[in-house]
Structure 1
Amino acid sequence: MPTFNPAKTENILVLGAGELGMAVLRELAVRPQARVTVMLRPSAIDTTSAHKRQTLEELAALGIEVLAGDVVNDSVEQLAERFGGFDTLVSCLGFVAGSGTQVKLARAALQSDVKRYVPWQFGVDYDVIGRGSPQDLFDEQLDVRDLLRGQSRVQWLIISTGMFTSFLFEPVFGVVDLAQNTVRALGRWETAVTVTTPEDIGQLVATVLFDPALVNQVVYVAGDTLSYGQLADTVDRLLKRKVERVEWTVPALLADLAAAPDDQMRKYRAVFADGKGVAWDKADSYNAGWGIETTTVAQWIGEHLV
């Protein structure tokens, strides 16, 4: 195994200021050794939206500079030029940016002068899931990993976080459906899932970036890892109710997907039901190894639902 000197982390560019981007930016802004810039679409900078204006005001208060750039409409060469001059590039732009965006950003990073790239792979273990999964967007994430592993100039880090904790409770996802007093298992009740809050991801990204021991590797973090059975038990206990328990089996979810093959939510359900690459033991996570406290599902319920 070759030895690498870790890239500098003095001048950081973050792509995007959505829920995850803001969580990362808030944590990086308090690091005195880092100068932090965020790249936003021109329309997000020159805006009359009250929400977007509030975001811009918070960024200014945090001392974060703003750079205009459009990952959809700018060319790879234009993006590479915008990325130049930064030590570390962190992408917080997810699949909503559209198919092909993740590969485009990786190519721009590799063409630029950046020393290190952290792609938007804050989710599952795409290596374990492999190509051809029910969620076809995941194949592009493997293309990004191939690009990064196939070169040696730009250092990289991939931070696997699992699902956002709140997503378990999104009615559209259908796992915890409080309106119907129901918890549904994706696959089986024994199937496990790893989840982390955006706030914890922000803290852990800021920590990982300044850990000189981490170079060119996948880092696993976890707010919590639990089975769907444990999730239902936790909902019952903390909300003082007895939920109805429904098992959505893999064959049933695949049949649902076949009936609506373009439905993104059905794709996600089928992948998570398979249970492969979507969970890892919290005890083995980076945060557990360093004694960094993260929010469990029980704590999240206590903060948001009780």
Structure 2
Amino acid sequence: MDQLASRQQQLDAMMESVLIIGAGELGLCVIEALAAHPQRNRMKKMSVLVRAATLESTAAAEKQQTVQRIRALGAEFETADVVQASVAELAGILSRYGTVVSCSGMELPAGTQTKLAQAALAGRVRRYFPWQFGMDYEAIGEGSSQHLFDEQLRVRAMLREATAVEEQEEQEEQGGSKGGGTEWVIVSTGLFMSFLFVAAFGVVDLEKRTVRALGGWEQELTATTPRDIGRATAEVVVDPREIRNQVVYTAGDTISYARLADTLDGHFGGAPFRRELWDAATLRRQVEEADGGEAVMARYRDTFAQGRGVAWGMDGTLNAQRGMAMTDVDGYLREMGAGGSGPEPGAGPASG
């Protein structure tokens, strides 16, 4: 069998069954995008992993509606508690699927993402998308104010090491590639667009008509809506082409704080938004003085002020390369004004 035919066979096996871990905001966006993808017929089976309580008749009405919505999209369910389950238990579930996309993590304890990656490798999942829909953690580097980022780096190292071992084994095999290892894809998305407008984050406070720059007015950040993250992820799942064992980037917008302020003024009109600069010293003091939930926000702000791994050019993104129209900041504001989904106070800054 030639190399091209062998690769196509691998892709077909990956696409035969797809499992999405989690049915929160991001998970639903991925599920809906997969269901709507023009090449959806390449998937023979799509399932969603949730806790057993989510499927019980006594579950909250909102969860019951979510379950009905997912079933209407043609997806089935698997049940497990990813926090309580062992690596072996999770591997047993994940091993039944060609592709696994992890969309759960914001509220999960430290170590959960490591365990899920271990389960994907132990279950010899053909392709794994870890929960890293956020920043460029390698550019940020180890030892940042966000401890979760260090775990994300360890997950990447684990996946790369497994890939290197697999490639070495393939080279030693006679007759070419076995294709039996786990490929991985990381989708870096920047900030969730909605979080940019959560007052507690500190960048945009619509009620007070205030916009703040973290570190400097010309520093940039990248943001993408959850809906567009779902579309980009579904695109790579269903039509990967040459994408394998790598990080791909998406961006609804890459915008400086100065341009963000100008966009807000242009959209809302009236008196200009008040502009405040939170420089590095101010943000470091916030980190030192904050506690509880505010400490989490202060650490995120400090990360963005560093200016590393939080923004990238639009030209090199998956959406630019494949001609996918995405929602930018101005478009998001228009959607909010038209009664679209605005910022959720409890939303996370990014799923990574």
Superposed displacement of residue 117, structure 1:
0.5
Please list the CA deviations of residues 143-174 of structure 1 after superposition, one character each: whole Å capped at 9, or x if unmatched.
00000000122100000000111111001111
Distance 2:193 2:24 in 1: 16
Quick check: 1:286 aligned with 2:314?
A: no
Aligned in 2, Cα 1:261/1:49: closer, same or farther, shift over 3 Å? closer
Q: Identify the residue that residue 56 of structure 1 maps to in structure 2.
A: 67
Larger mean CA deviation between 74-83 and 4-13 belongs to 4-13
> Map of 1:1-306 to 2, 5 A cutoff?
5=7, 7=11, 8-30=14-36, 31-34=40-43, 35-46=45-56, 47-152=58-163, 153-209=181-237, 210-241=239-270, 242-260=272-290, 263-305=295-337
Q: Distance in 1 between matches of 2:337 and 2:288?
A: 34
**CA distance in 2: counterparts of 1:136 and 1:305, whole angstroms:** 36
Q: Which has the larger radius of gyration?
A: 2
TM-score of the superposition, structure 2-length normalised? 0.84
**One-letter amino acid of the counterpart of residue 21, structure 1:** G
C-alpha deviations, 1:230-261, integer Å up to 9, x for none? 10000000111310000111121111101136
**Distance in 1 between the 2:189 and 2:269 partners?**
29
Question: Cα distance 1:65–1:52, how it changes in 2: closer, same or farther (>3 A)?
Answer: same
Aligned to 2:301, the other structure's residue is in SS state helix
The TM-score with structure 1 as length reference comes to 0.96
The answer on whether the counterparts of 1:90 and 1:119 sit within 8 Å (CA) in structure 2 is yes
Contact 2:53-2:59 within 8 A present in 1 as well: no
Gaps of 5+ in 2: 164-180, 339-352
Looking at structure 2, the residues matched to 228 and 10 of structure 1 have their Cα atoms a distance apart, in angstroms, of 44
Q: Is the 8 A contact 1:86 1:113 kept in 2?
A: no
CA distance in 2, matches of 1:249, 1:295: 29
> 8 Å contact 1:193–1:225 — kept in the other structure?
yes
- Displacement of 1:179: 1.3
CA distance, structure 2, for counterparts of residue 48 and residue 293 of structure 1: 37
Q: Partners of 1:89 and 1:191 in 2: how far apart?
A: 35
Contact kept, 8 Å, 1:194 with 1:226, in 2: the verdict is yes
Moved more, 207-216 or 222-231: 207-216
State the secondary structure of the residue aligned to 2:227: helix
8 A contact 2:213–2:276 mirrored in 1 = yes
Q: State the distance in 1 between where 2:198 and 2:152 align.
A: 24
Mapped contact 2:135–2:189 kept (Cα < 8 A)? yes
Identity %: 45
**CA distance, structure 2, for counterparts of residue 253 and residue 305 of structure 1:** 31
Q: CA deviation at 1:181?
A: 1.1
Partner secondary structure for residue 320 of structure 2: helix
SS of match in other structure, 1:225 = strand
- Superposed displacement of residue 45, structure 1: 1.4
Question: 8 Å contact 2:51–2:79 — kept in the other structure?
Answer: yes
Q: 8 Å contact 1:134–1:267 — kept in the other structure?
A: yes
Give the counterpart letter for 2:323 in structure 1.
Answer: G
